Chains A and B, each alone.
Chain A
Amino acid sequence: MINLNAVYALLLREAKIFFREKERIISILVSPLLFLFVMGKGMASGTSPVAGYTYQQFIFPGIIAMVILFTAITYGLYIIWDKRLDFLKEVLAAPISRATLFVGKSLGGMLGAIIETLLLLVIGAMFIIPLSPLKVLLCMAAAFPISYMITNIGLTIGARMKSMEGFGLVMSFLTWPLFFFSGALFDMNTAAPYIKVISLFDPVTYSVDLMRIIMLGQGYFTAWTNLAAIAAFSLATTFLGVTSFGKLQQEK
């Protein structure tokens, strides 16, 4: 069902393209850095719900989740460019299953998100919060399932979208709400009840919480709850993604 040689080739393509577009690597870090250094420092009076940390340190795990969210969704939507350029035709015509194509694309998105995560972790470790090598490793390990889950969401939407014009809509109606409801910037314990309810359906909530447990040692849910939720969302989005890739046809 899954052709590993083909997955490797697809991943290699995504990696090469990712590293050839250095502007994109940098530009995707801009919003997270603004939140971190302007909002995080600007609200210096804002206290951290976790004792012993500043507000900036408190939101840092959330910003890590944010960079994964933005990179992965953007990557998924980029499949529209593949459609426009007719390159997708070449891949769709190849003797590989749609599941193979999906896995290749998914891994490509994960690769991008992981690299951005690493960049931000390095910046964070230097300027914001001291991180032991173990913590960095754990964060990186957590970034894998999280970026997989979110890339799938991006790819599912991208496969169904017809034009790049939908890009702004997805960012406004999906990406930003996912970020704001996730509790990346505030403490879920003291949040309004409607936020608490909505956040339960937001996969990013569990990602933020998991990162917070790793870095600050304290979260809203337990680590296992977070992992279970991420696993469940990953399964669901894999199913959705493979289904919508199966429907991809050459548009004539």
Chain B
Amino acid sequence: MAAIKTDNLVKRYSEVTAVNGVSLEIPEGEVFGLLGPNGAGKTTLISMLATLVSPTSGTALVAGHDITTHPLEVRKNIGIVFQEPSVDDLLTARENLYLHSMLYGMPRREINAKIDMMLALVNLSDRAGSMVKTFSGGMRRRLEIARGLIHGPRILFLDEPTLGLDPASRKAVWAHIRKLKEAHNTTIILTTHYMEEADSLADRIGIINRGKIIELDTPQALKKKVGQDLVFLKGEINEAALKALPFVNSVELENGHYKIGITNSGANLQALLNAGGRIEEVEVRRVTLDDVFLKFAGQQISEDAEEHAEGIFERIAVNKSTRR
């Protein structure tokens, strides 16, 4: 059975269509990476699957339950780690976890042991009794992750789970995500801006742009679409001759450099250089998911940067308003 199955899911707000017809099927036990530029619809999609936002049209089954008709059944089976911390400032770490455990109907006898376990996992055992308002951003994040995991959900939504974490904590979270998948066959939906994170964790990756899934495949296959290797050339380059070569996948001009995606640079680099023209500089490297992301979603990022240049300050101002 598929853990998640969506059928033409749409969410329209008065001014924008945040999610525009997403049909997905995610098998049980898969780690699914959802990538996309800011405002592409990642969070809205996850919010719909988590029954926090009702879809404008379309349906989805999460853990076999319909998100519109049986939201409570869906909720029992999922865990969410939000993008913005939603732990309670005026409660201690332990109290936050206790409240969550009770809300999710965990047996009372087990709660305290589970809380200790989760606090140890995210390295917060020594701060269990401190109020969350004294925590740093990274500590809140870790607490939030502990909370999303404590009730042992079958499906876990992680909306940028390692945002703002130091490298050591990030590695610890990654290790735990892998363990969950192996030990409990937990299905994990992960959005992230860190390509290495998606690359090392995800079985499949969906790239979402302007509310639509534009690419969906394994990280390896996606990288192949760009080419196995990237060659950067500078000089008087014969573009037409390069494009004619059978092993060349793409040729783009970027900041005065030609960015050429090729397969098997070991065997083909010599032929490429021979056909290239008068070359002044050469650089060769493996394709990363960054390249895949920029190829498929890069267009919108540069457009949005111009359109909404001032928007970010307003958002910071809104986010800064705190309780008293």
Does any Cβ of A come within 8 Å of B43's Cβ?
yes
A16 proximal to B (CB < 8 A) = yes
A 79-120 to B, binary, CB cutoff 8 A, 1 in contact else 0: 001001111111111111100000000000000000000000
**Complex: how many Å from CA A9 to CA B108?**
11
Select from chain A the residue with minimum beta-carbon distance to B157: A93
Q: A13-B91, A87-B88 are in contact. Are A252 and B44 (CB under 8 A)?
A: yes
Residues of B near A223 (CB, < 8 A) are: none
Q: Are the CB atoms of B90 and A20 closer together than 8 Å?
A: yes
Asked if B90 and A250 make an inter-chain contact with CB atoms under 8 angstroms apart, the answer reads: no
Q: Which of B44, B85, B90, B99 contacts A9 (CB 8 A)?
A: B99
Q: Across the interface, which residues of B come within 8 angstroms of A85, CB to CB?
A: 86, 88-89, 322-323
What does the 1/0 interface line of A153-185 toward B look like (CB < 8 Å)?
Answer: 000000000000000000000000000000000
Note all chain B residues with C-beta closer than 8 A to A86: 82, 84-86
B86, A6: Cβ atoms under 8 Å?
A: no
Chain A 1-43, CB within 8 Å of chain B: the 1/0 string?
A: 0010110111011001100110000000000000000000000
Question: Within the complex, what minimum Cβ distance (angstroms) separates B53 from chain A?
Answer: 6
- Determine the residue in chain A with the shortest Cβ distance to B76: A95
Are A95 and B47 in touch, CB under 8 angstroms? no
State whether the Cβ of B256 lies closer than 8 Å to any Cβ in chain A.
Answer: no
* A16→B90 contact, CB < 8 A: yes
Question: In the complex where A13-B95, A13-B99, A250-B47 touch, is A3 in contact with B105 (Cβ < 8 A)?
Answer: yes
Per-residue CB contact flags for chain A residues 48-62 toward chain B (1 = under 8 Å, else 0) read: 000000000000000
Q: Is the CB of A84 within 8 A of B323?
A: yes
In the bound complex, residues from chain B placing their C-beta under 8 Å from that of A21 are: 90
Q: Is the interface of A mostly helix, strand, loop or mixed?
A: helix
A92-B52, A93-B80, A249-B53 known; A5 vs B105 contact (CB < 8 Å): yes
Given that A95-B76, A250-B47, A252-B44 are known contacts, is A90 also in contact with B102, CB under 8 Å in the complex? no
Query: Nearest CB to that of B11 among chain A residues?
Result: A252
Residues from 126 to 169 in A contacting B, C-beta threshold 8 Å: none
Closest chain-A Cβ to B65's Cβ sits at a distance in Å of 11
- B322 neighbours in A (Cβ, 8 Å): 85
Chain A interface size band reads 20 to 34
**A181 to B322 CA separation, bound complex (whole angstroms):** 35
Return A98 CB to nearest CB of chain B, in Å: 10
Tell me, rounded to whole Å, the shortest Cβ–Cβ distance linking A75 to chain B: 14
Tell me, rounded to whole Å, the shortest Cβ–Cβ distance linking B259 to chain A: 36
What are the residues of chain A within 8 A of B76 when measuring CB–CB?
95
**Which residues in chain B, 65-97, are within 8 Å of chain A measured between CB atoms?**
72-73, 75-76, 80, 82, 84-91, 95
**B104 in the interface (beta carbon within 8 A):** yes
Give the complex CA separation of A17 and B88 in angstroms: 10
CA distance A144 to B92 in the complex (A): 29
Question: Apart from A5-B102, A17-B90, what 15 extra A-B contacts exist at CB < 8 Å?
Answer: A8-B102, A9-B99, A13-B99, A84-B323, A85-B86, A85-B322, A86-B82, A87-B87, A87-B88, A90-B87, A90-B147, A93-B51, A97-B72, A249-B54, A250-B47
